[in-house]
Amino acid sequence: MLCLASTTEPGTRLDHRSSRGFSLIELLVAMLVIGILVGFAIPRYREYKRRYYLTTMVSDLRNLATTEEAYWNITGTYSTDLQQIQYSSSPRVAISMVSADTLGWAAKASYAGDSASCAIYYGNAPVLPPATLKNVIGCTP
């Protein structure tokens, strides 16, 4: 009896395509495609996080400005004590009051884990970089 390798029946050892699973090449191609997609996604994710940090700091400084004005309407002066004016910032946002008196105030915000910062000054308070215009919040890029 003569056995030819080209006439294999399904289920025999010589039939490689009938086995289950993926070949090594198919798996490598799939991993390559996933790697390329991740390579595009990571920079966008970092940019979204950075915008979130900046938006949170700007929002907190706006809320601080409103709180300071309300405090000034009651007492006739601004305060550097955030507890005295009953102000609390968002989680992971640190607000530091640089100066405050009867004529103006200045504050800076930073986000834990990020190098960006935002600032605002109001009234006769000294210019506080990155804010360069009075009453306008400025942030580092």
**CA neighbor of 102 nearest in space, from 83, 86, 128, 125:** 125
Question: What is the distance between the alpha carbons of residues 108 and 73, in angstroms, rounded to a whole number?
Answer: 22
Is it the case that residue 18 has pLDDT exceeding 70?
no
CB count in 10 Å sphere of residue 96: 13
pLDDT, tens digit, 9 for 90 and up, residues 27-72: 999 999 999 998 888 889 999 999 999 999 999 999 999 999 999 9
**CA neighbor of 122 nearest in space, from 45, 59, 49, 69:** 69
Domains of the chain by residue range: 24-139
pLDDT, tens digit, 9 for 90 and up, residues 64-105: 999 999 999 999 999 999 999 999 999 999 999 999 999 999
The SS3 call for residue 122 is strand
